[in-house]
Amino acid sequence: MKPIFAVGDVHGEITLLDELLENWDKERERLLFVGDLIDRGENPAAVLRRVKALADNSDAIVLKGNHEKMLLDWLESPSEKMHYYLSQGGMETIQSLIADSLDKKTTPEGLAERIKQESAELIEFIRNLPLYYEEGKYVFVHAGVDFTKDDWHETEERDFYWIREPFLFGENKTGKVFIFGHTPVQNLHKNGSSGIWVSSDKTRLDIDGGAVFGGELHGVVVEEKVIAKSFTVKK
């Protein structure tokens, strides 16, 4: 397999992403993003544009995270979903996707319509993102899979980008190694550190370093038989 440079949850941190990508070997490695490109951070729209350009101009793989799904859900039901989406960092995404300053009198429906029109290509890009990528013994996914299924491929769509404890601490009999984000590693390390988290059975690797919360943005290079190296940037 071609080595894969996998990037953890970016959450709009464009400066950190650009810094991390300086470690990417364009000639040798394929880029992969585990989702949650948007919400909360410095400039979510800039991250979306950068990642879409990478996907358009290289063989980069981009997975759908729960925050991409929340944006799509809000666009479909603006008034109903507005409060929840804003509570999850959605305002930073909305503001960055709209070309000029927001009119305080604009309704949720008006905001959603503007984004659908002004950022149509970005929204279509998000809408078509896959839920996981599998190659060799590795599976890349945003949140995880359902180990109670006879075949993990039959995981419910929502679980691919929302599942936590059953995946994090369940018994993995799939024969696969899962590389994922979604759950900030600070919640898994007993000391609250920002380093990459590895499950006790060595079959799960969490690369969500909680960068947007003052942690780290992680990148790992995955080769056929080994996690070859890792990179970390932080503010």
> What SS3 class is residue 46?
helix
* Ranges under pLDDT 50 in the chain: none
CATH number at residue 23: 3.60.21.10
Residue 136: its pLDDT value, please? 94
Q: Is 146 exposed, middle or buried (0-12, 13-18, 19+ CB in 10 A)?
A: middle
By residue range, what is the domain housing residue 147? 4-234
Query: Rg of the chain over CA atoms, in angstroms?
Result: 17
The answer for residues whose C-beta is within 8 angstroms of residue 166's C-beta and 6 or more apart is 144, 146, 147, 148
pLDDT at position 100: 78
Q: Residue 130: its pLDDT value, please?
A: 98
The structural domain count of the chain equals 1
